[in-house]
Chains A and B, each alone.
Chain A
């Protein structure tokens, strides 16, 4: 009996093999096994033989949509400014997409970073990805040599120990609070749709912070962010960050200093999160790649909460709906405005 993920892996391989062999796609973005336990790495299959290297397991935490625009671009002929767009159809790219990744692809399509016609989306309903950090904590930070994944448990072995973990216990926080695990757009669907998940407190982590006093919040963030080394791994892992010159690297204008001093660090994280407002799908890549474990997802999650509460919008749920910051409703809430007495909105 193979596990769910093994069955998915088989199907991914056969679909990728078919797409590559028929030439329908020129490349296929998936994962291959990593060299360490619990590790996988993004992998671009370009030949049909490559398809057999593709894997699917609970550690596929990086959002593959991040690689899509650049890969698509790599198949376009080089062009100087002013050159006409290339004629004829350009090669397509296949990509795996869970719920949140597919929503990121929707945002990328809406923001002209991805041409829907050039992507073959292989949807995979997400069962939630596992946090390697949580696993390590669960085994008391001991050295892990193997991890065997079953449908509902993980068997962790190391020097002198063997421990079985309940899989859900070590699933990432963003996945635990995810309500849309199914891809919203796809061309091929692998596995059974999970359906909308009922989550009691989607924003429990945000609420928890909100319940702290102002002082506590400031101190908590200042402390949590103090270990930031400004490596920008979070930014690099984010499929929403595609500016040619990131604001942190820009000197004209220089909105944020480059040091790890408190103001610079805080401003970096606030602005990075703010840039994702109304666009973030809470895929968790930023936090997953952070070498020092900064909880920067809290900022985007807070924005997601506000966007949902105030504008009834969730990033990437539909191709037709405008992004929340590119539209408005005359009756948008404005209780924060000093001169407005009532919470109720604005088109007087």
Chain B
């Protein structure tokens, strides 16, 4: 596990993207050649409604310096309402994590549609910048041994 003193430290960001909007938006960023930092690893899921608090916490526990969850805009969900149920779960988790002292910016949420390639790139830049400023994650990280 790196420390802040390491000059070459680059954040590791895990992204949970819904297949129908945000993953498509990420593809469109590629098609349009919008460049963004290579610090992100995408896990493709059917819907942002598939993302549970446990999964987000597990990403932190596994050592991700940042987490991004992105789904369809409210109203656009391919599964009608998955993102709307998820939005409540995310809002509560987001507040709870901040409450116990997890830095705002470690866990991020966005709505990116299939036609928002540039927005996807912007979101990744924004999240990467934020996490870089925060430095390596130390809270809720599982220390091995």
Contact = CB atoms under 8 A, between A and B. Distances in A.
Interface stretch (B10-18, B30-38, B79-87): B79-87
Interface in B89-145: 89-104, 108-112, 119, 123, 126-127, 139-143
Contact residues on B (Cβ < 8 Å of other chain), bracket: 35 or more
A45 B111 CA distance: 55
Interface residues of A, number: 52
A328 B81 contact: yes
Contacts of A247: 54
A60 interface: no
A328 B85 contact: yes
A274 B99 contact: no
B5 to A, nearest CB: 19
B7 interface: no
B47 to A, nearest CB: 14
Interface string A194-231: 00000000000010011000111111111000000000
A337 B109 contact: yes
B87 A328 contact: yes
B87 A332 contact: yes
A311 interface: yes
A264 to B, nearest CB: 8
Interface of A is mostly: helix
B108 to A, nearest CB: 6
Interface string B40-74: 00000000000001100110010000000000011
Contacts of A221: 100-101
A234 B134 CA distance: 34
Contacts of B92: 274, 277-278, 303, 306-307, 310, 325
A342 to B, nearest CB: 13
B96 to A, nearest CB: 6
A274 B84 contact: no
Nearest to A337: B109
B88 A302 contact: no
A192 B76 CA distance: 51
Contacts of A85: none
Contact of B108 (A324, A338, A346, A347): A338
A347 B75 contact: yes
Q: Which of A327, A337, A345 has the most CB of B within 10 A?
A: A337
Interface string A325-342: 111101011101111100
A346 B87 contact: yes
Given A219-B101, A267-B57, A334 B95 contact: no
Contacts of B85: 325-328
A303 B99 CA distance: 10
B41 to A, nearest CB: 18
Interface in A266-316: 266-267, 270-271, 273-274, 277-278, 299, 302-303, 306-307, 310-311
A217 B100 contact: yes
Contact of A271 (B57, B73, B98, B141): B57
A75 interface: no
B95 A302 contact: yes
Contacts of A311: 88
Given A263-B142, A330-B84, A270 B91 contact: no
B61 to A, nearest CB: 6
A252 interface: no
Q: Which of A267, A334, A339 has the most CB of B within 10 A?
A: A339
Contacts of B126: 338
A270 B100 contact: yes
Given A221-B100, A328-B81, A340-B111, A334 B75 contact: no
Contact of B90 (A216, A253, A336): A336
Contact of A218 (B84, B94, B139): B139
Contacts of B101: 214-222
26 contacts: A214-B101, A217-B99, A218-B101, A247-B54, A255-B54, A255-B57, A267-B57, A271-B53, A271-B54, A271-B57, A274-B93, A278-B92, A299-B99, A303-B92, A310-B92, A325-B89, A328-B85, A328-B87, A332-B88, A336-B91, A337-B110, A339-B111, A340-B111, A346-B84, A346-B87, A348-B74
Given A346-B84, A347-B74, 18 more contacts: A214-B103, A214-B104, A215-B101, A217-B99, A218-B101, A218-B139, A255-B57, A255-B58, A261-B143, A267-B61, A274-B53, A328-B87, A334-B91, A337-B110, A337-B111, A338-B110, A340-B111, A348-B75
Q: Which 3 A-B pairs have the closest CB atoms?
A: A218-B101, A346-B74, A217-B101
